[in-house]
Structure 1
Amino acid sequence: MLTCLVLVAAASLAGYVYVTVHASLPELSGQINVSGLHGRVSVVRDSSGVPQIYASDAHDLFLAEGYVEAQDRFWQMDVQRHISSGRLAEMFGPAEVQTDRIARTLGWYRVAQQELGMLSPQTTGYLSAFSAGVNTYLSSHSGADLSVEYPVLGFVAPGYHPGEWTPADSVSWLKVMAWDLNSSMGDQAARSVLSAQLPKGMAAELFAGYDYQNWPVITKASDSTAAGSKGTSQAAAPPSPMPSAADTVIAQADSMRQALVSVLGQTGTGIGSNSWVVAGSRTTTGKPLLENDPHLSPELPSVWYQIGLHCTTTGADCPFQVSGFTFAGMPGVVIGHNQDVAWGFTDLGVADSDLFVEKVSGDQYEYRGHEEEPITVRQEVIDVAGGKPQTLLVRSTIHGPLISDVMKMAKQVLALGAGPGKAPGGAGYAAALRWTALDPAATMDALFELDLAKDWPTFRNAAEHFASPVQNMVYADRQGNIGYQTPGRVPVRKAGDSTTPVPGWTGAYDWTGYIPFDRLPSELNPSQGFIVTANNAVVGPDYPYLITKDWGTGYRAARISQLIQQAPGKLDAAAMERITQDAYNANAASLVPALLRVPLTGEARAAQDLLRGWDYQQPADSAPAAYFNAVWRQLLNLVFTDRLKQAGLDPYTYPDGGGRWFQIVANLLTNPDDPWWSSVSTGTHGRDAVLRLAMVRADTELHKRLGGKPSDWRWGDLHTLTLQNPTLGTEGPAPLQWLLNSGPYPVGGGTDIVDANGWNPQQGYSVIWVPSMRMVVDLSNFDDSRWINLTGASGHPASDNYTDQTKLWLKGQTLAWPFSRDAVDRSAQHRLTLLPEQGKTS
């Protein structure tokens, strides 16, 4: 009898789970009446579930987009708006209070609300229509009908119901993406702390400059080409000794950045992208080809959402014919093409933020050496599921919010002279963040202007309004033009180069404005017939304005340029895709010859022999790649991590193993007696001795982890990708994690490789950022373009389209990208008609 009851209970539970999991699957075919529509809207989906929307006016187009995105991704949208508004604790309880404190201190949502008043009437209308579409879906779906996560969330936040979607919910996510791509703040903090703690000169070796002799520069913009500009944008920096007492608040500021990693994934340094555009002179069709693959933290579902937006008749009331990738919760298309032009983005790595160390005393701070200014204070209340509301005090100076406060409690912030470091006269120190993304701007206008761009001038007009995050933008059009444009706000400073925190009390390092748009780097139809952006330097050292001192490295850009120039024939879309799969490791090409010069004996020699004759490619089944990356990890720990730990430095200063560290080690190889070639944990000294120890330790590690013979080792057995739902997929019950997550999958590539599946040696070999999507746009025939998402169109784990694109992505394959109505109809698997409510057709 007991066995029978157990079986019945198990069957009932299984039935409940099945019903709950499938309840949220949206209607993809048939007819639905949707409040607010003016007329009939058609939603056509292919076998991958990617929607193509057809409407007769722009209002209906974006209302339908909101409805469709909510069908597929509302849980993701809901979580994202709670991140940007600092309201995660409302959903997930006390564990997220600190995350909310950070988001509220930065003020992402407050800035987004301010930006709404700056937008054009057209943009405001599109955002309102999108919100109406989301809310119409919410009005008829809740709980398990909305998403499988909501019934589980009910145990953490009983009674939680999603509120209505608003335009600020869409706009604020741009702030989070800008934060994801901000690297200058972390670089400033790391350089400051390392310079203070390491022997003179050793810290400088960890920040090698851009190798202009061996790495490509994106444009030829210089003193003579920047719209006739002469002179520099700022004066030389006056001496700015930073008191040692300020080190703590600088570290607090960066620990705030690190605290968001668990929610947003890896940010800043190491996060990048590839994009390149090739002129018709180099293609089989005589028309341009454009590629883009942004590198971001892997998520399930993907950060990107594929969509097509089509007006049934293009005109003033409905001017859109556009297709590409947007963010869940964002109207329009962020990256893609319309009927005339295509565009892509990569991160520029601009110095768009500064840490200002302020002298504070009570409710005042010192400014310009003698003036006492009042600190601005605002109070915010954080609601907490299962807990009491928390009060947050956000203090700000003229330079921005005091982000070092956020790691302290409110009572500490209120205390006289708050801050662990003391300045003369009893004042304390605090760190303020000056960041372009906190200056309200009409970036949302720019996104719709991109969707409507018809040629190079209208594309640049859109770029001029794109304030933050500052990106590299590549361009191609059907007339055969290719181009590059730096958009956005790049600060002009009175002094300083944004490499270290600066004293706020002098006023000497204040910002005076932004580089004029017509003097930002730009290029149209370069003579070489291609443009590559892979987070490499945009301009040479003679460019008259400071964009950054910390360009990304040029390894990927150099390799992509080489593959374009050495192609055996003219390029087509398939050839562009093959370039995305290149796994050549330039770091190995530099380091392996030095490793092979070091004699080894015994078992370790067999592993070292894997490197002989290696082509430096890193597919998932490569034994040499497995061994080399293990050596690389051991080498970084022996040379750098051990010393930084001994100096008492925080983990954010440890090597992340990316291209910057390729360059550092390559420079050190030329000096076998450099002080860095000294392992403090083992007492090993000298380059060759340290290299030998790294190889022996790597051999030992892989025998333990992978066993067998070295020839049987595989890079993909170490280097794996696990796709996780970033909320309940990491913290929820085990069965739910199994349902929501996918993987692990063996992958090739690596950090600062064209096939950029990045990893951090401090954390192991697991993948922490990926090409989050890939696309190749064929300007000769848009229907011949190709695209792939990391996961799938749907955010519902029971959907066939939850992870159906992942296997293709892993193989480097792509999907057909229909654009014309005929191509869309040929690919159609589902047709959904959205109709106005009865009697409300206009």
Structure 2
Amino acid sequence: MPRRTPGTTLDTLRTPRRFPKFLKAASICALVAGLLSPVTAGAARAATADDHCGGQCSDILPPGENGNATLAEILLNQAFGTQPAHAEDQLGPYADLAKGYPTLTDDKINSFFNDASFGVPSDQVASTEKPAGRGDVTIVRDKKSGVPHITGTTRYGTEFGAGYAAAEDRLWLMDVFRHVGRGQLTSFAGGAPANQGLEQQFYRSAPYTEADLQAQIDTAVAKGGARGRQALADVDAYLAGINAYIDASDAGRYFPGEYDLTGHKDPITNAGTIEHFKATDLVALSSVIGSLFGSGGGGEVTNALSLLAAQAEYGVQEGTRVWESFRERNDPEAVLTLHDGQSFPYAAKPATAQGEALPDPGSVTQEPLVHDRTGSATGSAAKGAATTAAKAAVSSARRGMSNALVVSGAHTASGHPVAVFGPQTGYFAPQLLLLQEIQGPGISARGASFAGLSMYVELGRGQDYSWSATTSGQDIIDTYAVELCQDDVHYLYHGTCTAMDKVEQANSWKPTLADGTAAGSYTMRVWRTKYGPVQYRATVGGKKVAYTTLRSSYRHEVDSIIGFQMLNDPDAVKGPQDFQKATQHINFTFNWFYADAQHTAYYNSGDNPVRANGVDAEFPVWAQSAYEWKNWDPATNTADYTPTSAHPNSIDQDYYISWNNKQAKDYTAAPWGEGSVHRGDLLEDRVKALVTAGGVTRASLTRAMADAALADLRAEDVLPNLLKVIGSSQVTDPTAAAAVSKLQAWVAAGARRTETSAGSKAYANADAVRILDAWWPLLVKGEFEPRLGSDLYTAFTANLPVDESPSAGHGATGSHAGSAFQYGWWSYVDKDIRAVLGEPVQGPLAQTYCGGGNLGACRDMLISTLKQAAGTPAAQVYPGDDQCSAGDQWCADSIAQRALGGIKHGKISWQNRPTYQQVVEYTSHR
């Protein structure tokens, strides 16, 4: 039975020239009549597994489950805005929580979430199918959301059904990302800047050949033993299901319309092919997902440049002290996920660093990636456009706003743990994740999986437990300085001059897109060494070097499949200890959370390399045996890793919060900005208050999450002290006084960015929001640049952006991406302003910056910049873009589902919350 699901084009996809962009309604109706065929619905009831959630498991994943669309459906969407069934039916409830949460009760949760119970009641069955006529698997879809519930009587049939359902829902997206992972997107989907940027971003960090991809499969199977062999069998069955759908949809002409729009299929004759998937495609997909979400660390060259700038400004000793204070490696005021005093030392600053290879000032250049470019877009302009487009397309996923709120049963109304948690994978159309339920021999789970990797549920629930993850970001990447010899493509390895490996990927594209993209081509080239790919060139002490990047998951993205297999196996996970054992098999850098009817748990995963004594993980080191990872084998890129007991872990802490914040005391290998003010504080304050009061419910914990999702971190945690400095004397300037009054009123109202009423598209306290948005970058620059100097200030902003407000297109995430307040100078401002006020500061900055430490001078600077901000018109604060008119504050903040196919969706009001989210409370346990 064919399933028609809406697809989504890359931002560059448009109606091809042979199909005018605006067709007459009659023409479209005729085309639709010729292309659509009926989809029947069955009435069978799906078999249910042992479900201990008692109807108290819920989830949500916008915009909708249906991520494939036929050509007719795409044309209708573009012409009239119509949506295929289940293409965006989860977007409305997701958006509505922003206004509905204050009055949320447990019985209203499923007004904003799906019922995530196992199975489908008979009166809620929308369709039933036996994919490819198989008798050992059934796919039932529910009426509300169209989620596939896959039930198999054999393991092979179960996985076949999972592959078939994935292709029904995300075939085009899966095809896009298998090409991204190979660096072949432009040849597949056209050469627009967004496509170029995507393939360039990932190819630089994972320049794999076909042999490399196959080697990952062989290694994972060999390491995994019986589970590894089972994983390979599951992959084979999953691929067979995907390919069966490709064949059926091709024969029935209901495949995604993007294949027509990109010239892979002829919409009239049906000529052309959709390539079958193979196992190495899934490895390519894994490399993209691992790079996006599970590879913390790196940045050693940027760190070195800012350290050199600090030393140039202040001298070596004081400059180093200043740098360390801004780095905040182990800040005592940082919010922690494990708050019971546990210590997990990792990557601490050595007493005396060994093997450092800092570049000579002014010598660093980035290794060029693109060569032999042809076409209308040439040179640096094309490179810049591609890079910008890449950041706009995927940065929200990489930066993320995954969070978790988990409360133990000792503090809940029912006595059972409650969890509200989920990953942030950005907002895309279709979404990178898909929902599914899988029931079969050795598998019993429901939840979200990355499209094309959904042979197992990756985040979701089992029979009597749920699990989720947030990106942890601990450092599994190091930069090595390989000394060059003979020429620029030979280097010294253990004293022998060794040739680098050249890996290239050629791409060419035709002018088939209606947006005017010209024909063109280029070649991506990466030089690989035993210490990883070359990223920069420089000199160190006059010697020519290449800086390479080595990560522990490099050439090992597939290894994590064993951990996910275990999480889906009801015989493998029967309690918190089993959960921790499963997540220990995941080599990506994630924080994992668990809840069942009796226990909660946490584990931080990732292959953390054991570094040589004296190596400082923050800076490049010489590529010499004395400074390599312990027992590192370059042939396999394996080494000694820190033991599982050394990873932050816990069972039954009173509560856990995570918003990509610091995991535990002394766990120092983390991103910049984990200091006294972090968006994790927004969760910590709310959940701690709930736990103190007791009687936590699903609704109250969801309200806490939703309230934090609308909070402006700067306004809640930093602005009150800024106003305290200004208020240290009477404010006589009328412009400043009016601005202060508006800001005070906003803080008193809760410091949230929220609509005046549902659907109003206008903020309460709108002028205060505008003033702070305009003021923050001005006050940070006025506070720090005079004493740091412009060179050092600029270098530090390369390590950590000044601001990441929802509308800050200049920030780490980009516009319309939802995620906000992860990266910014809030901690620096907070510590410095408290020092000026004479308040105690643990882990202070090396110097006091605002007004040189003088309260009056600091106040003058704040008032001066506040007046400037107050006078900045909305059209300048919110300059407008392809989504919004200049000055439209609500629109500037709004979340857009970034198109990866032909179907487009409307914008929703800003929320800072996970994309996929669960609300769970189990009533019983096996």
- For normalisation by structure 1, the TM-score amounts to 0.74
- Distance in 2, Cα, partners of 1:388 & 1:499: 40
Quote the offset at 1:88 in angstroms: 0.4
CA contact (8 A) 1:250 1:431 kept: no
Q: How many residues align?
A: 702
Q: Residue in 2 aligned with 1:471?
A: 590
1:106 aligns with 2:205: yes
Give the deviation of 1:265 after TM superposition: 1.5
Partner of 1:396: 528
CA distance in 1, matches of 2:796, 2:327: 17
Contact 2:338 2:650 in 1 (8 A): no
Would the alpha carbon gap of residues 332 and 741 (structure 1) be closer, same or farther in structure 2, given more than 3 Å must change? same
User: What residue in structure 2 maps to residue 617 of structure 1?
Assistant: 751
Residue 910 of structure 2 aligns with which residue? 747
Equivalent position to 2:360, from 233, 240, 244: 244
What does 1:78-477 align with in structure 2 at a 5 Å threshold?
A: 78-95=175-192, 96=195, 99-100=198-199, 103-107=202-206, 110=209, 111-117=212-218, 118-119=220-221, 120-142=228-250, 145-154=254-263, 161-181=273-293, 185=297, 187-198=299-310, 199-200=313-314, 201=319, 203-213=323-333, 215-218=335-338, 236-238=352-354, 240-244=356-360, 247-249=363-365, 261-262=390-391, 265-266=394-395, 270-311=399-440, 318-330=441-453, 331-361=455-485, 362=487, 363-367=489-493, 371-386=495-510, 391-404=523-536, 419=537, 421-422=538-539, 428-440=544-556, 442-452=559-569, 453-467=573-587, 469-477=588-596
Aligned to 2:776: 632
Is the contact made by 2:335 and 2:680 (CA closer than 8 Å) also made in structure 1? yes
Match of 2:600 in 1: 482
Compute the displacement of 1:434 (Å): 0.5
In 2, the alpha carbon distance for the partners of 1:215 and 1:422 equals 39
Q: Which amino acid aligns with 1:699?
A: A
CA distance in structure 1 between the partners assigned to 2:923 and 2:594 by the alignment: 14
Aligned AA (1:723): Q
Map 1:489-504 onto structure 2 (within 5 A).
Answer: 489-494=607-612, 495-504=614-623
Distance in 1 (alpha carbons) for counterparts of 2:660 and 2:197: 32
- Greater CA drift, 98-107 or 112-121: 98-107
Q: Identify which of 682, 691, 699 aligns with 1:574.
A: 699
Following superposition, the deviation at residue 703 of structure 1 comes to 5.1
Note closer, same or farther for the CA distance 1:518–1:547 as it changes in structure 2 (3 Å cut). same
Distance 1:160 1:444 in 2: 34
Q: CA deviation at 1:574?
A: 1.1
| Whole-Å separation in 1 of the counterparts to 2:484 and 2:301 | 20
Q: Taking structure 1 as reference, are residues 504 and 641 closer, same or farther at Cα in structure 2, changes over 3 Å only?
A: farther
Change (3 A) 1:641 1:21: farther
Partner of 2:920: 777
CA deviation string 1:157-176 (max 9, x = no partner): 99864311123323433322
Whether the 8 Å CA contact 2:403–2:659 is kept in 1: the answer is: yes
What's the CA shift for 1:650?
A: 11
Identity level (%)? 18
Select the residue among 5, 15, 18 that pairs with 2:29: 15
CA distance 1:216–1:133, shift in 2 (3 Å): same
Out of 721, 727, 740, the position equivalent to 1:593 is 721
Counterpart contact for 2:151–2:158, Cα < 8 Å? yes
Q: Matched residues in 2 for 1:606 and 1:292: separation?
A: 40
Structure 1 pair 645–55 and aligned structure 2 pair: CA distance change class (3 A): same
Q: Distance in 2 between matches of 1:454 and 1:424?
A: 57
Distance 1:68 1:645, change over 3 A: farther
- Per the alignment, residue 171 of structure 2 pairs with 74
Change (3 A) 1:26 1:565: closer
**CA–CA distance in 1 between the matches of 2:275 and 2:458?**
25
| SS of equivalent residue, structure 2 residue 159 | helix
Of the three residues 686, 689, 699, the one matched with 2:870 is 699
Task: State the alpha-carbon separation in 1 of the partners of residues 778 and 907 from structure 2.
Answer: 24
Give the 3 Å change call, closer, same or farther, for CA 328–473 of structure 1 in structure 2. same
Q: 2:802 is matched with which residue: 613, 635, 655?
A: 655
Once the two structures are superposed, the pairs formed by residues 660-809 of structure 1 within 5 Å of their partners are: 660-670=824-834, 677=850, 686-702=857-873, 704=875, 716=890, 718-726=892-900, 740-747=903-910, 756=912, 771-780=914-923
Distance (Å, rounded) in 2 between the aligned partners of 1:595 and 1:183: 39
Aligned counterparts of 2:848 and 2:673: Cα–Cα separation in 1:
26
SS in 2 for 1:437: coil
Q: Quick one: which amino acid aligns to residue 282 of structure 1?
A: H
Letter of the 1:701 partner, please give it. Answer: T
* Structure-2 residue corresponding to 1:3: none
Q: Is the 8 A contact 1:497 1:548 kept in 2?
A: no
> Unaligned stretches of 5+ in structure 1?
1-5, 312-317, 405-418, 680-684, 708-712, 729-735, 749-755, 757-769, 783-819, 821-842
Alpha-carbon displacement from aligned partner over 1:175-225 (angstroms, at most 9, x marks no partner): 2222223675564343222223352335445323443246335165856x8
Superposed CA offset, 1:642-674 (max 9, x none)? 965898769845424445511011122245696
Following superposition, the deviation at residue 547 of structure 1 comes to 4.6
**2:406 and 2:420 in contact (8 A); partners too:** yes
Report the CA distance between 1:86 and its aligned residue: 1.2
- Whichever residue aligns with residue 705 of structure 2, its letter is T
Query: 1:41–1:55: 8 Å Cα contact kept in structure 2?
Result: yes
| CA distance, structure 1, for counterparts of residue 295 and residue 797 of structure 2 | 16
Whether 1:537 and 2:679 are equivalent positions in the alignment is no
Is the contact between residue 219 and residue 539 of structure 1 (CA under 8 Å) also seen in structure 2?
Answer: yes
- Provide the secondary structure at the position in 2 that maps to 1:329: coil
Aligned residue in 1 for 2:161: 64
**Aligned equivalents of 1:181, 1:29: Cα separation in 2:** 34
Q: Which moved more, 1:488-497 or 1:175-184?
A: 175-184
Instruction: Tell me the alpha carbon deviations over residues 395-430 of structure 1, each in whole angstroms, 9 at most, x when there is no partner.
Output: 2222111134xxxxxxxxxxxxxx5x45678x6332
CA–CA separation in structure 1 for the residues paired with 2:857 and 2:253: 62
The two structures, once aligned, show a CA RMSD in angstroms of 4.1
SS in structure 2 of the partner of residue 592 of structure 1: helix
Residues in 2 aligned to 1:140 and 1:321: alpha-carbon distance in whole angstroms: 28
How far 1:253 moved relative to its partner? 9.6
Deviation for aligned residue 1:610: 1.1
CA shift at 1:298, angstroms?
2.1
